[in-house]
Amino acid sequence: MNPYLNVGYEINTNSSITAYYNYNKSNISQILTNVNETFILTSSRGFSKGLSDFDQTVNTSTGIRFSNRHFLSRYQISVGIDYSKQNDVVSSRSTIEQNSSLSERFMLKGGDRYNIYANSHWVIRPLKGSIKLGARFTQSTYFNQINNSELRKNIYLNQDYVFEWRSSFKSLFNFHLGTEWSLSRVTSENVYKYADNFTFLDLLFNLTDNFDFKIQSEYYQFSNKSQTNPNYYFMDLEAVYKIKQDKYSFSLKAKNLFNTNEFTVYRANDIGYSTTSYRLLPRYVLASFTFRF
């Protein structure tokens, strides 16, 4: 049985406070890799050994949230804090060498997570649009062992900041602009830092009642100093022509106009840095015809 308690208090018609408490006992995740009693191959040069038996983990979490909104939905604000405690958690005891690695699971007590967040949405009449602002602060702590070390304390700290601006002009043109910054810090025997940025701009053109044109652009920036080019640009185009109230429509789409062949994501953990690369479809143009009946 996993009890859950949720309490809410309505201050007035526009403001409220909610709080919760949760106790959760569940089976360990990834049973096949966590239960096996001998080392099995889990990656090209990595072997993993499980707990040799079925087991369960216990965690508790609690949080409180305050929300306020305008009665005409001209703005909405919410702030809150969450805290979770890992009473029982599956950790790893690893041996890392140049050409291979061994990882053995074991149970321990300890580890927690804090999460503080704020989100808001504002309708700005002079700007003829709406603005979205958000921020999140997360810190988590967990323990493991590397190369016969003592129990290592690892602290993950992450900060996210979001800004979006969406127009609502009574004209043929509108846009949607946004950016998101993610700042991360990993503290163990060493300290690893990295920052990522994602920015987008969508341009919408309603030239006539039957003809729409859209431009979508995206920009990614990673703090991977080992990459020769940690910045990526993407742009897509789409034009749609409708006939007889959407019964027939012709569309033309152009994808990956900058012809980016590879996309690499950069991350850091308590051991070091890692990158993951994805191969992308080359630039292409697609024409289509749609008929509804």
DSSP 28: P
Kindly compute the dihedral angle of the four CA atoms of residues 148, 110, 117, 189, in this order, to the nearest 10 degrees: -20
Which is more confident, 230 or 204? 204
**For position 285, what pLDDT does the model report?**
95
CB of 21 within 8 A of CB of 4?
yes
Burial of 49 (0-12, 13-18, 19+ CB in 10 A): buried
Which residue in this structure is represented by tokens 């994805």? 278
**For position 224, what pLDDT does the model report?**
61
**For position 34, what pLDDT does the model report?**
65
* Nearest one of 181, 73, 178, 198 to 131, comparing CA atoms: 178
**For position 99, what pLDDT does the model report?**
83
179 CB neighbour count, 10 Å cutoff: 15
Q: Is the pLDDT of residue 138 over 80?
A: yes
CB of 259 within 8 A of CB of 282?
yes
Q: Is the pLDDT of residue 226 over 60?
A: no
**For position 102, what pLDDT does the model report?**
86
Cβ neighbors of 203 (< 8 A, separation 6 or more) are 173, 175, 214, 215
CB of 116 within 8 A of CB of 139?
no
Cβ neighbors of 44 (< 8 A, separation 6 or more) are none
Backbone angles phi, psi at 34, to 5 degrees: -95, -15
Region 72-94 average pLDDT: 88
Which is more confident, 208 or 17? 17
**For position 159, what pLDDT does the model report?**
96
CB of 49 within 8 A of CB of 39?
yes
Q: The domain 4-291: what is its CATH number? A: 2.40.170.20
* Mean pLDDT computed over every residue of the chain: 88
β-bridge partners, 7:
19
**For position 225, what pLDDT does the model report?**
55
Q: What is the pTM of this model?
A: 0.84
Going from N- to C-terminal start, the domains of the chain cover: 4-291
Backbone angles phi, psi at 92, to 5 degrees: -135, 150
**For position 13, what pLDDT does the model report?**
86
**What are the pLDDT digits (tens) for 9-43?**
999 989 999 999 999 888 776 555 567 778 888 77
Q: Is the pLDDT of residue 101 over 70?
A: yes
d(C-alpha 274, C-alpha 176), whole Å: 33
Q: Which of 81-90, 190-199, 217-226 has the lowest mean pLDDT?
A: 217-226
Which residue in this structure is represented by tokens 């850091």? 268
Q: 32-37, long-range: CB within 8 Å, 24+ apart, which pairs? A: 34/90, 34/105
Cβ neighbors of 291 (< 8 A, separation 6 or more) are 247, 248
Q: Is the pLDDT of residue 227 over 80?
A: no
